[in-house]
Amino acid sequence: MFWKVFLTCFCWLLINTVKPVETTLCSQKNLGGDSFVCVCNSDYCDTVEPNGNPGKNFFNRYQSSKHGHRLNYTAIPFEKNATTDNIFYINISVTYQSILGFGGAFTDAAGINILSLPVDVQEKLIQSYYSPDGIEYTIGRIPMASCDFSTHPYSYDDSPMDFSLSNFSLAMEDLKYKIPIIQKALSISSREISIFGSPWSAPAWMKTNNNMTGRGSLIGQPGGKYFKTWANYFIKFLDAYKSHNISLWGLTAQNEPTDGEIYKFPFQAMGWTAEMQRDFIIQDLGPALHSNGYQDIQLMIMDDQRLVLPEWTSVVLTSEKAIKYIQGVGLHWYYDFVTPASVLDIFHAKFPSTFLLSTEACVGSMPWQRKVILGSWDRAEKYCHSMIEDLNHWVTGWTDWNIALDMQGGPNWVSNFVDSPIIVNADKSEFYKQPMFYALGHFSKFVLPGSKRVDIKPNGISSLELAAFILPDSSKVVVVLNRSDKEEIFSINDPAVGFINAEIPAHAIQTYIWWNN
Residue with smaller CB distance to ligand NAG, 61 or 278: 61
Instruction: Indicate whether 34 belongs to the interface with ligand NAG (CB under 6 A).
Output: no
Q: How far is the CB of 209 from ligand NAG (least distance, A)?
A: 8
Q: Where are the beta strands (DSSP E) in 282-327?
A: 298-305
Active-site residue flag, 465: no
**Of 173, 360, 389, 430, which residue is the catalytic one?**
360
**Of 136, 256, 381, 389, which residue is the catalytic one?**
256
8 A C-beta contact, residue 260 and residue 269: yes
Instruction: Indicate whether 463 belongs to the interface with ligand NAG (CB under 6 A).
Output: yes
Residue with smaller CB distance to ligand NAG, 62 or 401: 62
Cα angle 64, 341, 346; round to 5: 140
8 A C-beta contact, residue 303 and residue 257: yes
Residues in the chain: 517
Active-site residue flag, 49: no
Instruction: Indicate whether 23 belongs to the interface with ligand NAG (CB under 6 A).
Output: yes
Size of the site for ligand NAG (CB under 6 A): 29
Q: How far is the CB of 229 from ligand NAG (least distance, A)?
A: 12
Return the residue of 199, 465, 471, 515 that touches ligand NAG, per CB under 6 A. Answer: 465
Rounded to whole angstroms, the Cα distance separating 404 from 1 reads: 57
Instruction: Indicate whether 162 belongs to the interface with ligand NAG (CB under 6 A).
Output: yes
What part of residues 41-60 is at the interface with ligand NAG (CB under 6 A)?
Answer: 49
Instruction: Indicate whether 8 belongs to the interface with ligand NAG (CB under 6 A).
Output: no
Return the residue of 270, 464, 467, 509 that touches ligand NAG, per CB under 6 A. Answer: 464
Rounded to whole angstroms, the Cα distance separating 204 from 331 reads: 26
| 302: exposed, middle or buried (Cβ count in 10 Å: 0-12, 13-18, 19+) | buried
Q: Which stretch binds ligand NAG (CB under 6 A): 31-39, 161-169, 361-369, 509-517?
A: 161-169
Residue 444 three-state SS:
helix
Question: 119-130 vs 179-188: helix axis angle to the nearest 10?
Answer: 60
Specify the DSSP class assigned to residue 283: I
Rounded to whole angstroms, the Cα distance separating 211 from 206 reads: 9
Residue with smaller CB distance to ligand NAG, 17 or 166: 166
Return the residue of 167, 314, 318, 369 that touches ligand NAG, per CB under 6 A. Answer: 167
What part of residues 63-82 is at the interface with ligand NAG (CB under 6 A)?
Answer: 69, 72-73, 80-81
Q: Which stretch binds ligand NAG (CB under 6 A): 267-275, 369-377, 424-432, 476-484?
A: 476-484
SS (H, E, C) 56-98: CCEEEEEEEECCCCCCEEEEEECECCCCCCCEEEEEEEEEEEE
Q: How far is the CB of 476 from ligand NAG (least distance, A)?
A: 14
Specify the DSSP class assigned to residue 21: P
Pick from 417, 332, 354, 388: nearest CA to 141: 332
Residue with smaller CB distance to ligand NAG, 133 or 162: 162
Site track for ligand NAG across 191-210, x = CB under 6 A = -------------x------
Strand order in the sheet with 28-29: 28-29, 37-40, 430-433, 422-425, 405-406
Peptide bond into 411 cis (omega under 30): yes
Q: Which stretch binds ligand NAG (CB under 6 A): 86-94, 132-140, 250-258, 315-323?
A: 86-94
Pick from 217, 239, 69, 68: nearest CA to 165: 239
Instruction: Indicate whether 214 belongs to the interface with ligand NAG (CB under 6 A).
Output: yes
Rounded to whole angstroms, the Cα distance separating 32 from 37 reads: 10
Return the residue of 236, 244, 290, 452 that touches ligand NAG, per CB under 6 A. Answer: 244
Return the residue of 213, 232, 402, 444 that touches ligand NAG, per CB under 6 A. Answer: 213
Torsion of CA 171, 177, 183, 184, to 10 degrees: 170
Residue with smaller CB distance to ligand NAG, 428 or 457: 457
Instruction: Indicate whether 33 belongs to the interface with ligand NAG (CB under 6 A).
Output: no
Residue with smaller CB distance to ligand NAG, 32 or 460: 460
Task: List, by residue number, the catalytic residues.
Answer: 256, 360
Residues engaged in binding ligand NAG (CB under 6 A): 23, 25, 49, 69, 72-73, 80-81, 91, 93-94, 159, 162, 166-167, 204, 211, 213-214, 244-245, 463-465, 482-484, 486, 488
